[in-house]
C-alpha cells in the first residue's frame, strides 16, 4: 500500500479520482464506478482491511503508531478487446482502497492517505454476441446456467459460460437505452476510445449477419442511409446518427465502402471528444 502525506480524499468523489490516478488510467467518468459496485463489495472485509492499513502505518511510523480514519473502496476497470476466436470486450476490475487517516505516534500526529489495490482483480468478459443481444433487448436467446443475488452465468454459443455481475448488466441495459456503445466506452477515457472502433466494428458485423443485407460491410458501397442505419445498430439515436454523418460528409467518397465510412465516422467522433 502506498502512503501519501496529507489528506488527499475527503469524500467518495475525491477517492475515485485518486484511485484512477494511482492506477495510471488518467481521467474517466466517475459514473463507470457505479457499474461495478458488487465487485467492490466483495473487498469489504473489515478485519482484513484494518490489518492491511495497520501494517502499512506501523511499517512507516513504528510499531506503536495508531490510526483512525475513513476509507473508500473504488472499482478500477481496465479495458481490452480480444479479437481471437470469439470477439470479446474484457474488463479487468481491480478494487482500490483509499483511506484518509490520522496517525498518532508517541511524538506527534499527522494526516496521511493510504491507497492501493486490495484482493485479486476480477475479469468481466463480454462476448460481442452477448453485447449485441443486449442492444437488441434479446438476452432471452441465452440460457441461464446459474444465478444468485450478485451474479448470473449465461451459456453463450461458441464460448465458455459467461459469469457477469447483475449490477453491471442491469446498469448497462439502462445506459444503452439512451446512448450508444461508443459513447459509453468513451466514459472510460483514453482506453475506452482505443477499443471503441474495434467493438463497434464487431457489433456492426453481427448486425449485418442478422439483417437481410446481401453484402458484408467491407463490400457494400456507402450511402447516407446505410451509414445512418449502421450507426443506429450501435444504439445511436436517429438524430444523433444523422448528425455524425453530416459532420463527416465532406470526407466521404463515392468509392468508399460502408466499413471504411463507419471507421471514418467513429474517428470523427473521437476527435470531437478529444477536442
Helices (H), 176-235: 181-186, 190-210, 224-232
Q: What is the pLDDT of residue 41?
A: 76
DSSP run (H or E) holding 180: none
CB of 15 closer than 8 Å to CB of 98: yes
Cα-to-chain-centroid distance, residue 22: 17
Q: What is the pLDDT of residue 124?
A: 93
CB of 218 closer than 8 Å to CB of 201: no
Q: How far is CA 194 from CA 92, 187, 222, 262, in A?
A: 16, 12, 24, 15
DSSP run (H or E) holding 130: helix 128-135
Residue range 144-177, pLDDT digits in tens:
999 998 899 999 877 788 999 998 999 999 999 8
Pairing outcome for strands 88-104 and 143-147? unpaired
Q: What is the pLDDT of residue 210?
A: 57
What is the DSSP annotation of 221-274?
BP-HHHHHHHHHTTT--HHHHHHHHHHHGGG--TT-BHHHHHHHHHHHHHHHHH
Q: What is the pLDDT of residue 272?
A: 57
Residue pLDDT tens, the chain, 275 long: 899 999 899 999 999 999 999 999 888 888 888 888 877 777 666 678 888 899 999 999 999 899 998 989 999 999 999 987 789 999 999 999 999 999 999 889 999 999 999 988 999 999 999 999 999 888 888 889 999 988 999 998 777 889 999 989 999 999 998 888 999 999 999 999 999 988 988 888 787 665 544 455 556 777 888 888 888 777 677 888 888 888 888 787 878 888 788 878 877 665 555 55
Q: What is the pLDDT of residue 270?
A: 56
Q: Is 29 helix (H, G, I), strand (E, B) or coil?
A: coil
Sign of CA dihedral 241, 243, 249, 250: negative
Length of the chain: 275
Q: What is the pLDDT of residue 110?
A: 92
Q: In the β-sheet with 151-155, what is the strand arrangement from edge to edge?
A: 143-147, 151-155, 162-165
CA–CA separation, 218 vs 137, rounded Å? 26
Q: Supply 107's cell numbers.
A: 511524538
Domain ranges in the chain are 2-175, 181-274
Q: Supply 232's cell numbers.
A: 443506429
Phi, psi of 246 (to 5 degrees): -60, -35
Residue range 256-275, pLDDT digits in tens:
888 788 878 877 665 555 55
Q: Count helices and strands (H / E) in the chain.
A: 10, 7
**Model-level pTM?**
0.76
Tell which residue, 126, 210, 142, 225, has the closest CA to residue 176: 126
Tell which residue, 132, 134, 168, 138, has the closest CA to residue 150: 168
- Adjacent-strand bridge partners of 145: none
Q: How far apart are the first and last CA of the chain?
A: 36
DSSP letter at 42 equals: T
Amino acid at each position: 500500500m502506498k502512503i501519501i502525506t496529507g489528506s488527499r480524499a475527503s469524500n467518495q468523489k475525491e477517492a475515485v479520482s485518486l484511485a484512477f490516478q494511482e492506477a495510471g488510467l488518467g481521467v474517466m467518468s466517475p459514473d463507470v464506478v457505479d457499474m461495478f459496485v458488487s465487485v467492490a463489495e466483495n473487498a469489504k472485509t473489515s478485519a482484513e482491511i484494518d490489518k492491511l492499513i495497520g501494517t502499512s502505518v506501523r511499517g512507516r511510523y513504528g510499531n506503536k503508531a495508531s490510526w483512525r480514519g475513513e476509507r473508500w473502496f473504488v472499482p478500477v476497470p481496465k479495458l481490452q478487446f480480444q479479437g481471437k476466436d470469439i470477439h470479446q470486450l474484457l474488463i479487468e476490475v481491480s478494487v482500490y482502497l483509499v483511506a484518509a487517516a490520522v496517525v498518532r505516534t508517541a511524538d506527534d500526529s499527522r494526516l496521511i492517505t493510504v491507497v492501493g489495490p486490495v484482493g485479486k482483480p476480477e475479469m468481466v468478459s463480454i462476448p460481442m454476441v452477448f453485447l449485441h443481444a443486449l442492444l437488441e433487448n434479446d438476452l432471452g436467446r441465452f440460457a441461464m446456467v446459474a444465478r444468485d443475488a450478485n451474479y448470473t452465468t449465461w451459456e453463450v454459443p461458441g464460448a465458455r459460460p459467461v459469469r457477469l455481475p447483475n449490477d453491471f448488466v442491469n446498469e448497462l441495459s439502462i445506459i444503452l437505452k439512451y446512448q450508444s456503445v461508443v459513447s459509453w466506452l468513451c466514459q472510460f477515457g483514453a482506453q475506452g476510445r482505443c477499443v471503441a472502433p474495434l467493438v463497434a466494428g464487431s457489433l456492426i458485423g453481427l448486425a449485418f449477419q442478422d439483417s437481410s443485407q446481401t453484402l458484408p460491410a467491407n463490400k457494400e458501397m456507402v450511402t447516407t442511409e446505410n451509414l445512418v442505419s449502421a450507426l443506429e445498430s450501435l444504439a445511436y439515436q436517429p438524430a444523433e446518427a444523422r448528425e455524425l454523418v453530416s459532420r463527416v460528409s465532406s470526407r466521404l467518397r463515392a468509392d468508399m465502402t460502408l466499413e471504411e465510412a463507419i471507421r471514418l465516422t467513429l474517428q470523427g467522433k473521437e476527435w470531437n471528444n478529444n477536442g
